[in-house]
């Protein structure tokens, strides 16, 4: 999941289109050659535009990792994520909500892999957390009962799906509930 960056999205999509080329088929972004006024618009020294162009124009940008798998870069003194910039360039406006990577690969910023969703919908395509010990979202071992418990959260409300002797039975019930409530087939997958 991503946090809302609306307050940080200060550069206009029109300016981004002048600064960056976005390929919607590959999801890659490349720096465009800058003029002195464009260079100044990013907060940089306009006298150094020729040096900047020699070093960066035409090269891939947003190659840093955010620490959470998102590709990012500093632009005009702020950190931007590649998927949000690609969206803004492609559609001509910043997303109003979160952007979900449909295939859960945060570095895959092809426009076909991005969708604008609310917090609840984004959660229906979440990866399994590292602290999950059973290997299946929504299935936990209850040592006191010596049984597997299955549960699901839908629209901020938790539903208990039952208690089972078999792990496989608990997983099957959980998966059926996910399908019933429109969760992504990738939901709960590990990296």
pLDDT tens track, the chain, 191 positions: 444 444 555 899 999 999 999 999 999 999 999 988 887 888 788 888 899 899 999 999 999 999 888 999 998 889 999 999 999 999 999 999 999 999 889 999 999 999 998 887 777 677 767 777 888 888 989 999 999 999 988 888 888 999 999 999 998 998 899 888 888 777 766 66
Which tokens hold the place of 78?
Answer: 């702020």
pLDDT number for residue 129: 74
- pLDDT, residue 9, reads 54
Q: What does CATH list as the number for 126-180?
A: 3.30.730
What are the C-alpha distances in Å from 20 to residues 82, 132, 160?
A: 11, 40, 49
pLDDT score of 42: 81
Residue 130: how many CB atoms within 10 A of its CB?
8
CATH class, 13-122 region: alpha beta
What residue spans define the domains of the chain?
A: 13-122, 126-180
- Model's pTM, two decimal places? 0.72
pLDDT (0 to 100) of residue 3: 46
Instruction: Give me the long-range contacts of 89-98 (CB less than 8 A, separation at least 24).
Output: 89/13, 89/16, 89/17, 89/20, 89/22, 89/29, 90/22, 90/24, 91/13, 92/13, 92/14, 93/13, 94/6, 94/9, 94/13, 96/6, 97/4, 98/1, 98/2, 98/4, 98/122
């Amino acid at each position: 999941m991503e946090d809302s960056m609306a307050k940080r999205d200060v550069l206009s999509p029109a300016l981004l289109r002048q600064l960056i080329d976005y390929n919607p088929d590959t999801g890659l972004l490349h720096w465009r050659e800058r003029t002195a006024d464009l260079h100044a618009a990013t907060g940089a020294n306009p006298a150094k535009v020729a040096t900047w162009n020699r070093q960066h124009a035409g090269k891939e940008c947003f190659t840093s990792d955010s620490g959470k798998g998102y590709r990012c870069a500093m632009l005009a003194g702020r950190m931007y994520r590649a998927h949000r910039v690609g969206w803004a360039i492609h559609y001509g406006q910043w997303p109003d909500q979160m952007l979900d990577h449909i295939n859960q690969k945060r570095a895959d910023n092809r426009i076909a892999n991005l969708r604008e969703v609310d917090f609840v919908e984004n959660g229906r395509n979440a990866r399994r957390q590292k602290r999950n010990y059973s290997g299946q979202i929504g299935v936990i071992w209850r040592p006191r009962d010596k049984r597997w418990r299955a549960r699901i959260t839908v629209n901020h409300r938790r539903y208990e799906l039952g208690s089972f002797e078999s792990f496989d039975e608990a997983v099957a019930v959980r998966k059926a509930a996910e399908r019933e409530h429109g969760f992504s087939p990738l939901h709960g997958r590990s990296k």
